[in-house]
Structure 1
Amino acid sequence: MQLKKTLIQQIGLILLLGLFSACFKTYKGKINIDGSSTVYPLTEAVSEEFRKIEPDIRVTVGVSGTGGGFKKFIRNELDISNASRPISASETKAAAEAGIEFIELPVSYDGLAVVVSPQNDFIDYLTVAELHKMWAPESQGKIMRWNQIRPEWPDRPLNLYGAGTSSGTYDYFTEAINGKAKASRGDYTASEDDNVLVQGVSTDINGLGYFGLAYYSENADKLKLVPIKVDENSDAVAPSDETVQNGTYQPLARPEFIYVNKSSASLPHIQKYIKFYMENAGTLAKEVGYVALPPEVYKLSYEKFKNLQTGSIFENESIVGANLLELLKKQTD
């Protein structure tokens, strides 16, 4: 009995020492990342693979929305900021005033999925005009029922779910559908956490929401995807790898980004991480439900990083319908 007790004590001591060692491990480098919940699955997948080959480099990835990430980035709290939209003019100005320079790197394509509950048996597609009617600022308190969108649809409440105002998804969706970023009705269930939106729509027969395609893919058994028509005369197109990459899923296909703090870019562990990211983003994007960029875009982006080329390719360009390859070539020429 005494031997058994001693053995248990020794095992407990070993476990305690192991835990103590893990908590106080000395790393050769640390990488702080935060921002978009939409870009999070890709960056976390890259980071997980990177940790396997570089266990002495600590990579932490947080989620506070694109806008929240940029606020931390501008306060010099981050090495890298995940973003599901380009940095805005006001954020660029704030960064300049704070002495923060950034390197903008596109990492994948994403389609915004418009979804309803699987119990919704009447919706077949939506036009951009119908989405605008649902989400326009002037619709607040007025467009409240499904039959106000199409008379043949049921006289039931229209319950909307969408990205919170700090989300890059919110900025892109409002620009694409309402013509101006951040122009939206406010009487809807909002969250920067896409999992909250998934839960809301999937359990609400009268609900409709939007979020990144990856979150639909992860929860396809709980949701019904709604194809989109640019207008009544066009075909209804659902988001997929093919339709997002070839540009037929419009206007809800968009690029996603990481922004690297220039002051961090000279650090060897950051250089290793970005090289790994650019080399593996295409493969890992497919694994987590996003669409890989053309290989030439990753190549040009990495050259841009190595050359410490700062600024945004969207400074005077709209992101809706943008051609990444042309914009990158224009910036690097």
Structure 2
Amino acid sequence: MMTHESRSVSRRKFVAGVGAAGALALAGCQDTGGSGGLSGEVVITGSSTVFPVSNRMAEDFMAEHENVNVTTDSTGSGGGFENHFCPGNADINGASRPIKDSEVSNCSDNGVEPIEFQVASDALTVAVNNDHPVDCMTFDELSQIWREDRVTQWSDVRDDLPDEDIKLFGPANTSGTYDWFNENVVGESYDHTADHQATEDDNTIVQGIEDNKWAIGYFGYAYYNENSDRVKALEIEASEGDGCTEPSLPNAKDGSYPMARPLFIYANRESIQREEVHEFLSFYLENAETDVVEDIGYVPSSQDLRDQNLSKLEENYEG
């Protein structure tokens, strides 16, 4: 794993200006405890997909700033916006899809201005039991399984599959992953079925698939990456004849995997004015471009995206 360095935007600009010798001098003068007098609390809610990244960033930041408490809670993208972020009870909300107009309106009604930062990309993964005979599925087949008037047996999907009931495990309707899958895979003409075991805990989805030969579910690639020995990831064919593509970070990065998607965090502009939130966001956005994100199981942001994010952060910071 590549080690990463915690740097605020102001320190980053300063180091670039003073050069290597100045950087060494600055490092020698820093507080050895890493606290630098910074204190306070940062509250993060939202996407279970983004949660592993935010949680890792929180742990690493607190290791360097012992007087700052960063709490992370996996509530689902929509659940975080509705119940925590837009009411003003969270500083940052992770989201595995862009914020909705209705959520922006809800935030505005409460005096919350969400500032968007894309921090990574994901290869949303559909998984089945290791003993399941299927290795690749099309969007149309997945839609048949996951739509409201869905097929109920595997033989309804393909003639060569047995008359076994399809067991569904997936995210709750407060999840951004649910929203993305509903819009892009189930399709605009259909609604996502409610006939599935819904949860905000992706580990529960993995467990359900592992325990049932005829189960199927979907979640962020990081959870498959952690559990690749327990379940089988399906290759995906967007349309028949396109060819099957496996979920992987390289395939998500180059766009060849049809279920690649961006991941976001949204910060309350008012919260950004608090030093501990500003410094944490600076840390987060800088390190989102490192191997830390890839080790978790997502595509890191690019250098250009990192610099755009940091510029946007400074544009919204009045300190």
TM (norm. structure 2) is: 0.85
User: Which of the numbers 106, 117, 123 marks the counterpart of 2:134?
Assistant: 123
Pairing partner for 1:145 from 148, 153, 156 = 153
Is residue 162 of structure 1 aligned with residue 170 of structure 2?
Answer: yes
Counterparts of residues 286-301 of structure 1 (less than 5 Å): 286-301=294-309
Q: Deviation at 1:67?
A: 1.2
Q: How far did 1:36 drift?
A: 1.0
Separation of aligned partners in 1, 2:180 and 2:97:
6
When structure 1 is superposed on structure 2, of 200-209 and 177-186 the one drifting more is 177-186
Matched AA of 1:111: A
Letter in 1 for 2:90: L
- Residues 246-299 of structure 1: per-residue CA shift (max 9 Å, x gap): 10111x111111110111111111111111111111222111111112211111
Q: Measure the CA separation in 2 of the matches of 1:197 and 1:83.
A: 19
1:31-57 per-residue CA deviation (whole Å, 9 max, x = no partner) reads 011111111100111111111211111
Matched, 1:272 2:279: yes
Equivalent in 190, 210, 227 of residue 219 of structure 1: 227
Q: Does the CA contact (< 8 Å) of 1:108 and 1:290 recur in 2?
A: yes
Whether the 8 Å contact between 1:174 and 1:183 is mirrored in structure 2 is: yes
- 8 Å Cα contact 2:43-2:92 kept in structure 1: yes
**Any unmatched runs of 5+ in structure 1?**
1-25, 310-333
CA gap 1:293/1:27 in 2 versus in 1, 3 angstroms: closer
Superposed CA deviations along residues 296-322 of structure 1, whole A, max 9, x for unmatched, are 11111111111129xxxxxxxxxxxxx
Q: Distance in 2 between matches of 1:181 and 1:196?
A: 29
Name stretches of at least 5 consecutive residues in structure 2 with no aligned partner: 1-36
Give the structure 2 partner of residue 78 of structure 1: 90
2:39–2:65 CA contact under 8 A, matched in 1: no
Q: Which of 73, 78, 81 pairs up with 1:67?
A: 78
Q: Bigger radius of gyration, 1 or 2?
A: 1
SS at match of 1:32: strand
Q: CA deviation at 1:181?
A: 10
Matches within 5 A, 1:153-232: 153-180=161-188, 183-232=191-240
Name the residue aligned to 1:321. Answer: none
Match of 1:257 in 2: 264
Question: What amino acid is aligned across from residue 84 of structure 1 in structure 2?
Answer: S
**Quick one: distance in 1 between partners of 2:97 and 2:190?**
12
Is 2:46 the counterpart of 1:35? yes
Percent of residue pairs bearing the same amino acid type: 35
Q: Which runs of 4+ in 1 moved over 6 A?
A: none
Partner of 1:109: 121
| Paired position in structure 1 for 2:112 | 100
* Deviation digits for residues 71-103 of structure 1 (CA, Å, limit 9, x no counterpart): 211110011111111111111111111111111
Q: For the Cα contact (< 8 Å) 1:171–1:181, is it kept in 2?
A: no
Paired AA for residue 234 in structure 1: D
Q: Distance in 2 between matches of 1:219 and 1:266?
A: 39
1:171-220 CA-to-partner distances (Å, cap 9, x unmatched) read 00111112349920111111111011111011110100000100011011
- Normalising to structure 1: TM-score of the pair? 0.81
- For residues 194 and 75 of structure 2, the distance between their equivalents in structure 1, rounded to whole angstroms, comes to 20
Structure 2 CA distance for aligned equivalents of residues 180 and 86 of structure 1: 17
Q: State the distance in 2 between where 1:221 and 1:269 align.
A: 40
SS in 2 for 1:105: strand
